[in-house]
Amino acid sequence: MVGCVTPWNEGVDMSVTRRLTSVCSVVAVLAGLTTSVAHAQPAKVPVATGTGGAVATVDTNATEAGLEVLRAGGNAVDAAVAAAAVLGVTEPFSCGIGGGGFMVIYRADQGKVTTIDHREISPAAMRPDSFWEDDAPLPFAEARYSGMSAGVPGTVAGWASALRKHGTMGLDKVLQPAIRVAHDGFTVDQTFADQTQGNVDFFDDVPSSAELFLDPDGTPKDVGTTFRNPDLARTYERIAHLGTKGFYRGAVASAMVEAVQNPPVSEDANHAWRPGVMTTKDVRAYTSPEREPTRVSYRGLDVYGMAPPSSGGSTTGEALNILGGYDLSEMDRAEALHYYLESARYSFADRNAYLADPEHFDVPLRGLLSPEFAAERRALIGETASNPPVVEPGDPYPHDGGAGAGEASATVTRAGTTTHLTVGDDDGNVVSYTFTIESTGGNGIVVPGFGFLLNNELTDFNYSSLTHPNRVDGDKRPRSSMNPTIVLRNGEPYLAVGSPGGATIITTVLQILVDRLDLGATLPQAVAAPRATQLNTPSTIAEPEFIDSPEAAAMRERGHTFTSTSEIGAATGIEFLDDGRLMAVAEPTRRGGGSAGVVTPG
C-alpha cells in the first residue's frame, strides 16, 4: 500500500494498528492503488474471535485481503470476492478465474439465503462420446490433460453477479489486493511446492505452464522463494477496468479458446494433448444464474446448501434427514459415527444415481430431501455396517410429485482439489463460498500471456456412460460435490462451513455438523477432528489418526473396514456466538494449515 506501513510487530498497541490498517485499507481499496510497500504478513492463526467481521481461508494473504475490505466498509460479499481473487494467485492449483464455483449468501437485510451458480459449462459442441476413442472412454489422465476437459469458466461472472446483486463495491475495488499480491509476490510454502511436483511431468509439456510454475531446471519453485505472476496481475487489472467483458470477450477469451482448441504444447512433449471444442461464442454466452438454496431442518436449525448442479446441498440434506431419526447426543461417539457413515453411504447411493444439471435432467430434488424418503432409507440401516457395503439407490420419485423413476446407476467419485472460504460481516451478512479448477492443477494449461490455469471440470461428467443423467452433453454443467453451507438459528446466522476435497467435501461438512450440533464439539474441535468418509464404497476412507482411534476399533466390531488416506478436506467456518462476537475457524494442520481473522480481536 503506497504510503502505508502497518505495524504488525509484537508489542505494538493493537488499537493503533487497527486504526492504521483501516486508514491504509481505505486508501488502497477506494483509491484503486496496486503498488505497495512490502510488509511481513502475520503468521497463520487457525482460530480468531472478535467483532466487526470475520474471514477464514486457507491462506493468510487471502484472509488479510478479506479483512482489508471489511475495514474499508465493504460487506461480506465484497470481502469474499477480494479473498477469492487472492486465492486465485496463491492457490492457483486449486482455484482461479479459469474455473468456477458456488456461493451461498445470507442477506441480513432480507433475512434470506440465496446462491449464485457459476459452475463451468461445456461447449455447445460436446457430445456424450467426446471423451471416447476406439469405442471406449479415455483413461482419466488422458481425458484430464487436454483441451477437451476445460469447461467455460464461470468464476469472473460469478464474482460480478455477487457484487452487483449483493455487494457494495465493484470489481475495480475488490480486485486491488489480488493485483498487489500477484505483482509483489508471496512466499512459496511446502504445500505449493508439493502441488507443483504432482504436475511437473505435464507442466513441462506446456511452455506457458513451465515458465510460470517451474524453475529453469524443470523443478518446482523452491520453498521460501518469492512467487510472482505479473501476467495474472495484468489480467486482473483488465477485468477491474472492463468488468466481465475483460474476460468473456476480447483478448482473454480469444487466448483461452486458442489454448483449448490448440493446446500450446512443445514439440518434445511426452504426452498427447487432445484439442477441445470451445469457441468464443461459448465463452460469450456464459451466464451465472442465481438459484434457490436447498433447505432442511435439523435439530431445530435451518441448514441451507447448494442445489443442483451441485450435489452438496441435496446429499448433506438427505443425510441429515436420515440422522434426524436418531438421538446422536445420547450415543457414544463410535455409535454416532457409525450412523454418520451409514447415512452418508445411502445418501451417496442416491446422489450418484440422480444428481445432474437440472437444465438437462429432471432431478428429483424434492423427493431426495423429503422426510418420507429419508425414513425409507433409515429403515435399511442397522447397528452394523451395510453388507454388501455398496448399497443400491432408492426411489425418490414417489416423494417428488409422483413422476416416474429415471435411470439409477452407479457413478465414479474422484478426489479433487478445491478451496473454500467463509466470511461474515458486522451487519450479519454471511458468505460460504467454494470454488475450484477441479483436479490439482486443472487441465495443466496456463493460458499464454494471462497467467491462469484452465479447469478440467468436464471430467466431472460421467463421461464413461452414454446414458447417465450426468453424461456429457453440450451447454451442460457437470455435477459437483461442492457444499458451501449456512446454518440459521431462529432465522439468524449461526454457522457457515465448507471444504475442498472432491466427493469428500460432502462428508467433511456432514461430519463437522454432526460433531458440532450433536456431539458437543466446539467448531474448532469439529474442524480439527480426524475424519472418515463413506461414499458408498466397499471400504470407508479415513485419516490415519481416525483409523488408530478407539472409535475406529469399536466400529470395526460393527463391520466397518477402513482404507487410509493422508488427509480429508481443508475446511473453514464461522460461528456467530451468543455474545455477539464471531469466531473464524480454519484448519490447524491440513493442507499446511489455514488462516482465520477478525476485524477487531477480543
Catalytic positions? 418
- What count of Cα atoms within 13 Å lies in the side-chain half-sphere of residue 526? 30
C-alpha cell at 40: 511481513
The conformation of residue 470, written as its DSSP 8-state character, comes to: T
Left if phi > 0, otherwise alpha if psi is -120 to 50, otherwise beta: which for 73? left
Terminus-to-terminus CA distance in the chain, angstroms?
A: 26
Bridge partners of residue 97, in order along the sequence: none
Q: Are 47 and 583 in contact (CB under 8 A)?
A: yes
Where b means 16+ CB within 10 Å and e means fewer, 363-388 reads bbbebbbbeebbebbbeebeeebbee
245 burial via Cβ count (<10 Å: 0-12, 13-18, 19+) = middle
Q: Give me the DSSP letters along 11-80.
A: TS-HHHHHHHHHHHHHHHHHHT-------PPPPP-SEEEEEEEEEEES-HHHHHHHHHHHHTT--HHHHH
426 burial via Cβ count (<10 Å: 0-12, 13-18, 19+) = middle
User: Element (H or E) spanning 172, and its range?
Assistant: helix 171-174
Residue with cell 414417489: 398
Distance CA 238, CA 232 (A): 10
Tell me the angle at which helices 76-90 and 230-242 cross, rounded to the nearest 10 degrees: 150
Q: How many CB atoms lie within 10 A of CB 331?
A: 15
Short-list 41, 32, 73, 38, CA closest to 60: 41
C-alpha cell at 490: 431462529
**Coil, helix or strand at residue 243:** coil
Distance CA 530, CA 543 (A): 6
Distance CA 450, CA 416 (A): 24
Residue with cell 466446539: 522
Q: Are 31 and 13 in contact (CB under 8 A)?
A: no
